[in-house]
Structure formats: structure tokens, C-alpha cells
Structure 1
Amino acid sequence: MTAITAPLALRPIIERRAFVEIIMGMPISLHIKAIDVQRADIEQAAANVFATLRKVDDLFSLWRSDSELSLLQAGAVIAGEAHEWQAEIVDLCLEAEERTGGLFTAWRNHEGARPAYDPTGLVKGWAVEQAAAMLRVVPGISFCLNAGGDMVIGHGPGMRGVAPAWTIGIEDPRQPDAIAATVEVVEGAVATSGSRARGAHITDPRTGAVVCRDGSATVVGPSLVWADVWATAAFVDPTWARELIAGEASAYSLTVL
């Protein structure tokens, strides 16, 4: 049997369009591929994506004193009045700590003070997944939603088996603006943890010490929440994380640079 390939002149022209907004203190970009990227339903979906991310920022930002989480921690809002997402994130943080053997935690120890709850390391990936759900119902599109290098890639109805792959570059942590490797993703998530962009900001929960070294860990898999968790754990302890991912998350692949 011989595959029949349509002549180039008969193939649909795939257009590309980008939307960008500053949310959570970073540029968040949405890239769409479709035959017609000017459709009204695509524009509405993009608006819904950014509205969802702004709502998450309103609820969880610890950089803002008026966010719901900041108000909860200040005692200005009681837990019973909080949005249901607050409890969902607490449960996910506890699960992540258990599944990583403590390599990932949302509770930070401060000398002379009680541990502080900071779910920032999990919330971003979770938020991007929530927002990406707005795109999966839009027919005839392929998308890449990127928040600071953490990405969800997918497509809408009618694109299974025909959605184009996205080529994702993994930045070389030792050479700014250089690409060390690439991965092809049609449906899934990519997360990277390291120190190049934000400096030494990741703490080893086992010791309380900041991880002071260069390099990065990138994880590709079906869920951005867990890809992000595994990437953080891998940067803290690459050897342990390799075993952990192989044992608990075989659907995920790890690149340590």
C-alpha cells in the first residue's frame, strides 16, 4: 500500500498567531496554529485563557497584599470563606511533597518562625493547565501556552492525528540564548527548573539550603503540574529524581543539563 500525499497546492495553509499578556509578573504567551487564526472563537478563547490566569493571580499571589492567599495568611479572610481552589492547591502540594520524598515542598522553614506556606512553585503550572482547558474545546486549532518556559501544548476537536508538532527549545543554562536540545510535542507539557533566569532561588527542603549551582532540569510529560514538580525535584537532586521519575512517572522524560 502506498501513501497518497496531497500536492502542495492542495494542502491548507496553516497560519500562526500569538497573544501575549503580562500576568503573575511575567510575559505569558499563547501561540495558535489554524487555517484561519482570525476567527472570533479563537479570540474569545484567548481572552478566557488570560482571564483565568488573572483570576489565579488574584487568588494566590504572595507578591500582592490584596490577593486572597495573602489575606488568608494575614487573618483577614477565614478558610471557610476562601475560594475552593485554595483547598485544591493545598492537597496538591501535600501530594507533591509525598511523591517526591520531600524534594518538593510548599512549606518553607524560617529561623525562629513557624514554617511559611508558599505554593508558588506549584500554582503556576496548575494555572496554565486550567487556562489551557479553554483552548481544548476550540475546533481546528493547535496551541502552545507558555508561562515563563513552562508550557502546555495541545489541540482542539478535529485535530487528533493531524495536529502539527511544536518544536520546543531547551535553553542551555550555561550559554544565554543558546539552545542545548529540542523536543517535538503534539500534546503534553514541558517544564524547566534551574537558576539561570532567577538566580539561586530553589531550596533543598532536606537541608533548608539554597541550591547554588548552575544547570537545569527539564521534564516532558502529560501534565504540567507534575512535570513542574518533577523538574524542581530533579534540580534539587538529579540522581534521586531520575530514579523517582522512572519509578513513579514513567510517562515523563527528564533532561538534566
Structure 2
Amino acid sequence: MSDTPRGLRHVEHVMGTVFSFDIRDPRTPAIGAALREAVAWLHHVDAEYSPYRPDSAVSRLARGETRPADCSREVRDVLALCEGAARVSGGWFSHRPGGGLDPSGLVKGWSIEHASRILDDAGARNTCVNGGGDLRLRGEAAPGRPWSVGIAHPLRPGALCAVVTGRDLAVATSGTAERGAHIVDPHTGAPAPGPASVTLTGPGLTLTDAYATAAFAMGDLARDWVASLDGYEAFAVLSDGIAWRTPGFPGTRVPQRDRRADGIALDVPLRESCR
């Protein structure tokens, strides 16, 4: 945790990735306490929902040692959110890939959304919470200036493919550049071919994250599907470098000749960064 001229920043390693908190409000005791609470919350989520921890609630459910009815209300709510995302996406989002139980396609966005809310409740109105490239933005980067988010180019390491600007916005990207073919086509059980990457924006990160996973899995169907969703927009880069966007996507494409968008500072080595 460190004070900066612009507020308060913190980087936390949890859930197998890096989370960063960028708070642009002056530090107060309440905001400092809320940041510690938000970090503790992320570790709680990792302990309860990681499919890689044998003692997590998700792992116990997957092994049949417990039933959903035996779980906490929080766990049941997460499973209900996953089922809702599956319905809205026509089954392209699934928290049971390959027949197992893994809600991580929704849980990371859900955990970031809640962490952002903890800060907001404490009076931090201008914040960026970034978890492995999925971001929840609130307020402004500076008075009168919206946040700018650089989206990493999936085919050109070190370059950006788009810059998203906005206030009170969620941004989530799904792709194969960093983790390989980890998204499963729930209809076949095989790795989804998908585009090189797809970025979604929306009003909250819980569903924006889940819908980005679904959009990647559905491939060519994603553009029309996202366009049919109220409040969500998308930008995708295909494997041949061609890009598409829905009409209301709140960002601009970066010309491929540019290695980095002018003025975008990559504050920490994550897939996306905010300024």
C-alpha cells in the first residue's frame, strides 16, 4: 500500500494473478481500512471458490461431499449467478466445463465488483480495481478526465489494440494470449477456437466478465449476441488481425503501427492498465 500524489495504490497477488487498486481520492482512515477489507475479501474468495484448493467450497461440491443446499447463502448466490449467465448466453457460458464445477469465469469479476463496492461505501469515489486485466472503474481518473484503459493486442506483444475511455464502467477481456486455449466450448467440451481476444464493457463486472467468456466461446456469433444485450458492448480481434466492434463500444482502435497508445501508462505488468 502506498500513497501517491494522486491518492493511494496497492498491488496484491491472489487467485493466481495480480490485483491492483488505484484510488484517486485523498487517503482517509476509512479508505485505508476499506482497502484492507477489500484485499481480505479477495483472499476469502480464493479460499472459497478456487477449484485448485482441495478444501474450498467449490472443490467439496465438485467431489460430491456437500450439496448446494448445504453451502452458505453466498455460495448459493454465486451458483445462481452462473446459472443466469448460462441462460442469457444460450449455454455458451458454463460453470461446469467438461462436466466439472468451476465458476471462475464469473467469480473473478464478481469478486472485483464487490471489492470496488467496499471502497465506494467508504467514500472512495474515483477508483480502478484491476484483477488480471478485468477492471471496474468508478468516477474519474482526475477532475474532468475519464479513465483511459489500454487493451493489450493479442497478436503483438507490447502493443495495444484499443483504448477504452469512460466513467463508472466495467471492462473484461477473454483470449488465449496469456493462458492459451483455456476456454472450453461447453457444447462440445473441446477448447473454443474463438477470436484472438474479445473485450466487453458493461455496467458491472460480474456479468461483463462472464459474458466476455461466453462471447469468446461462441466465436462468430458473439457480435450479434452482444449487440442484443442492453448496456453491453464489445471489441474483438480475430486470429488474422481483423477487428470488429459493436456500434456503442466506448473506445477507439489503436493503429497497428503504434506500439503503444499515446499517453497510456502501463503502471503494472498486467494485460490492461488504467490511467
- TM-score, normalisation: structure 1: 0.83
Q: Which residue of 2 aligns with 1:207?
A: 188
Is the 8 Å Cα contact of residues 17 and 31 (structure 1) preserved in structure 2?
yes
Q: State the superposition RMSD in angstroms.
A: 2.2
Distance 2:87 2:177 in 1: 27
Is the 8 Å Cα contact of residues 238 and 256 (structure 1) preserved in structure 2?
no
Q: Which residue of 2 aligns with 1:244?
A: 225
Q: Which residue of 2 aligns with 1:138?
A: 122
1:110-189 residue pairs with structure 2 within 5 A? 115-139=99-123, 141-155=125-139, 164-189=145-170
User: Relative to structure 2, which stretch is displaced further, 96-105 or 228-237?
Assistant: 228-237
Q: Identical aligned pairs, as a percentage?
A: 34
Q: Which residue of 2 aligns with 1:31?
A: 22
Distance 2:205 2:183 in 1: 18
Q: Which residue of 1 aligns with 2:241?
A: none
Higher Cα Rg: structure 1 or 2?
A: 1
Evaluate the alpha carbon distance shift between residue 79 and residue 220 of structure 1 in structure 2; reply closer, same or farther with a 3 A threshold: closer
Picking from 200, 209, 228, the partner of 1:219 is 200
Residue 253 of structure 1 aligns with an amino acid whose one-letter code is E
Q: Give the superposition deviation at 1:132.
A: 1.2
**What's the secondary structure of 2:10's corresponding residue?**
strand
Provide structure 1 residue ranges, at least 5 long, that are not aligned to the other structure.
1-12, 110-114
Distance 1:77 1:178 in 2: 46
Is the 8 Å Cα contact of residues 188 and 223 (structure 1) preserved in structure 2?
yes
Evaluate the alpha carbon distance shift between residue 145 and residue 234 of structure 1 in structure 2; reply closer, same or farther with a 3 A threshold: same
- TM-score, normalisation: structure 2: 0.78
Q: Give the superposition deviation at 1:71.
A: 2.6
Q: Give the superposition deviation at 1:202.
A: 0.7
Residue 11 of structure 2 is aligned to residue 20 of structure 1: yes
Q: Which residue of 2 aligns with 1:96?
A: 85
**What's the secondary structure of 1:181's corresponding residue?**
strand
Q: Which residue of 2 aligns with 1:9?
A: none
Evaluate the alpha carbon distance shift between residue 241 and residue 16 of structure 1 in structure 2; reply closer, same or farther with a 3 A threshold: same
Q: Give the superposition deviation at 1:185.
A: 2.0
Distance 2:10 2:127 in 1: 11
Q: How many aligned positions are there? A: 233
Distance 1:240 1:213 in 2: 10
Is the 8 Å Cα contact of residues 170 and 181 (structure 1) preserved in structure 2?
yes
